[in-house]
Amino acid sequence: MNCFCSKEKAKYYCQECRHYLCSSCSDYHKILPMSANHKLHSVEDMRSMTPFKIASLHHRLCNLHNEPLNWFCCKCNIPICMHCTISDHNSQQGNHKPISISKAFQTFKETAEELEKTANDCESKLQDSLKAIIQNAKKLEQSKDKSLSDIDNHVQEIVKKVKENGNKIKNKVETLYKRKKKVTDVQIDELKTTISDMNTKISFLSQLLESDEVTAMESSGRVITALKDRINEFPKAEPDDYGEITFFINKQQMVSLQQCDIGNVTEMRAANSLTLKGEESVIQGKKFVVKVMKTDECEIHANQLKATWTQPTGETNITQVEEDDNGDFFATGTCTSPGVCKLDVSADGKPIKQSPMEIKVEKVGLVNSIQIHNNGEIGDVVVCEDNCLLVSNLTNVIRKYKLSGKPTLAVVLPQGVKVYRMFKMENSKIAFTDSGNNDIKICNMNGTVIKSIRLDKLKHQAGIYVDEASNMLYVTQSRVDTYTFNFVSVFMLDIDTGKIIRKIGGLSYNECQMNGVKDAIDISISKQGQLLVLETCKGLQTFNIEREFMKVLVGEGDKNGMVKYPSGVVVDEDDNIIISSCHKLQLFSSDGNFIKRIDKPEDSIKYPRGLSIIHPRRVAVANNGDKTVKIFNY
């Protein structure tokens, strides 16, 4: 490479002038004032530089103004000169944002360093992933070889066993043959001897017949006697042994061999194809079920699975995983102490996914008491979709609380409305009895009233229940009007039209007293579709699906198993019935048998109202006595 003077070979390169210089020219370059501060690089250094590095040595100039690019437009994302900041990239006119090239480079440098660090971290993780995948590929190769080897070994074992059985049968054939051949040989030898002796005597008799008469008659008696004796001693002519050995093929075994299932090949261990799914929390002493779900197709049997329960006390017990009629697996358990219960499930000794699973075991009894800060009478409590509680208090505001007791956004209805009893419908709708207007309303969670149903004969509405499957609404009145001879206590309405479909109650005062519903305070429907009417003076009555009276399920009284001044009834998922009465909560079976009292005297249940099932074995009650909502596990 020659100097730009074309006289000598270049020794240096000027990054400002962008010329190669020989030794003489470089000396003049350093003396001249205009080039004295130029940066020179040796040719050897230039040869070792990358094109990108060489390009970075040059101070580029603006194509429009031929000025150094000392600025950077953040909007256009390009380097610019000083004149550009005033003309084309003015921050005032075109909303551009010019900054110094040094500041822009510093920002780029910081971003690049951070990005480089992130990229390096990413590259490191990719390397780790690559190593893991390569290791997995080796394991795959090894597992393939081992599987093939195991199959060969297993087949060889089967073949070996079959050969052993074949040799046993062959030995039996040889033994039978030897025994049978010995019998046959003896019989053959005996017959051959007899035949030979017989032939000898016949031959001698023939000789006598050919001799002279005197000679023949001399020996005739002896020969005839001997021949007769031999004939009389004629041996058994039939074979002493049936000369045959037969191999009977086990055809059933042949079918088994044709369908021989010597094992199964899968692309993953069974443990990797299964996971646990169950409740996060359960009630102390309640039996619960955890499902063992298949995440991938795999061949596995229940006897390959094992469940180990670890109680909150540390006690462990091992149970067998069960299989239902659909081929799904499940494990059942019961935790008798509050705390954390652990379930470990293994397949062929290997833990499956989500194992061990931790399950919170909650104590039985009162678990929370939410103070309702208002001056009104607490009428009811229901559970809404977000697992919060809605509480009515004879005002136009339905208060809302989380299960922890923390208040959240309330449902505000128009002035004059007084919400008493409620029913939570689907699609975020609430049906309620409005004591302020003596009617029934349906609203959404925003407080907008969707429908109002007014009944002239309904004077003292109390309980409400909506059967959305049949589009029916049931409402009760707490006392009949003897002055107007209105003895109807339960109204069955069409939700859409508000039309009365049926009236349930006595037709006369005496009939109402004897077998009718006189003073219905609350209502519910069982899982079998029976109507449950809670009546102040008679307890809990049941009506069949035709809404005809059947019997009194729970009678009136002070003792456990009876109710006095009841106010709320609800049916849980197991079709058990919970009734709130004057000073207690009681649990009954679907046929009215007393199971237990849910509360304790120290829980201060007093004048309770409505009830609501939060989830299996957990109930909330509106306790008007101390203006609280109490939550019980039972």
| Contact present, 420 and 380 (Cβ < 8 Å) | yes
pLDDT digits (tens, 9 = 90+) for 86-127: 888 887 777 788 999 889 999 999 999 999 999 999 999 999
State residue 471's pLDDT score: 94
- Between residues 351 and 229, the one the model is more confident about: 351
In the structure, what pLDDT confidence band is assigned to residue 238 with cuts at 50, 70 and 90? low
Q: What percent of the chain shows pLDDT beyond 90? A: 48
- Angular region, 257: left φ>0, alpha ψ -120 to 50, beta rest: alpha
Q: Is the model's pLDDT at 530 over the cut of 70? A: yes
State residue 241's pLDDT score: 65
Rounded distance between C-alpha atoms, residue 474 and residue 462, angstroms: 10
Rounded distance between C-alpha atoms, residue 71 and residue 98, angstroms: 6
Please spell the DSSP secondary structure of 378-414, one letter per residue. Answer: P-EEEE-TTS-EEEE-SSSEEEEE-TTS-EEEEEEPP
Lowest mean pLDDT among 278-292, 406-420, 562-576: 278-292
DSSP single-letter state for residue 602: G
| Amino acid at the residue 599 | D
Give, to the nearest 10 degrees, the angle between helix 101-210 and helix 213-232. 150
Strands 357-362 and 281-283: parallel
In the structure, what pLDDT confidence band is assigned to residue 254 with cuts at 50, 70 and 90? low
Neighbour tally for 496: CB within 10 Å = 9
In a 3-state reduction of DSSP, which class is residue 342? strand
Extract the tokens encoding 49: 């530089």
Over residues 233-257, mean pLDDT: 64
Residues 6+ apart with CB under 8 A from 273: 266, 294, 295, 296, 297, 298, 300
pLDDT digits (tens, 9 = 90+) for 161-196: 888 988 888 898 898 889 888 988 888 888 888 889
| Contact present, 461 and 435 (Cβ < 8 Å) | yes
pLDDT digits (tens, 9 = 90+) for 258-314: 555 565 555 546 778 889 998 888 998 888 899 998 887 777 888 889 999 999 999
Q: What is the mean pLDDT of the chain?
A: 86
C-alpha dist (Å) from residue 400 to 384, 392, 407, 424, 427: 9, 9, 6, 13, 17
| Contact present, 247 and 143 (Cβ < 8 Å) | no
Extract the tokens encoding 496: 């859409």
- Between residues 576 and 462, the one the model is more confident about: 576
| Contact present, 363 and 340 (Cβ < 8 Å) | no
Rounded distance between C-alpha atoms, residue 125 and residue 129, angstroms: 6
Q: Is the model's pLDDT at 507 over the cut of 70? A: no
Neighbour tally for 632: CB within 10 Å = 26
- Most confident range (mean pLDDT) of 246-250, 513-517, 574-578 is 574-578
| Contact present, 610 and 372 (Cβ < 8 Å) | no
| Amino acid at the residue 124 | S
| Contact present, 362 and 284 (Cβ < 8 Å) | yes
Write the burial class of residue 182 (CB in 10 Å: 0-12 exposed, 13-18 middle, 19+ buried): exposed
| Contact present, 479 and 467 (Cβ < 8 Å) | no
Neighbour tally for 372: CB within 10 Å = 21
Q: Is the model's pLDDT at 554 over the cut of 90? A: yes
What is the end-to-end Cα distance of the chain in Å, rounded? 96
| Contact present, 460 and 478 (Cβ < 8 Å) | yes
- Residue appearing with tokens 């000083």: 82
Q: What is the 3-state secondary structure (H, E, C) of 492-550?
A: EEECCCCCEEEEEECCCHHHHHHHCCCCEEEEEECCCCCEEEEECCCEEEEECCCCCEE
State residue 541's pLDDT score: 93
State residue 247's pLDDT score: 66
Q: Is the model's pLDDT at 509 over the cut of 70? A: no
In the structure, what pLDDT confidence band is assigned to residue 380 with cuts at 50, 70 and 90? very high
Q: What is the 3-state secondary structure (H, E, C) of 256-303?
A: HHHCCCCCCCCCCCHHHHEEEECCCEEECCCEEEEEEEECCCCCCCHH
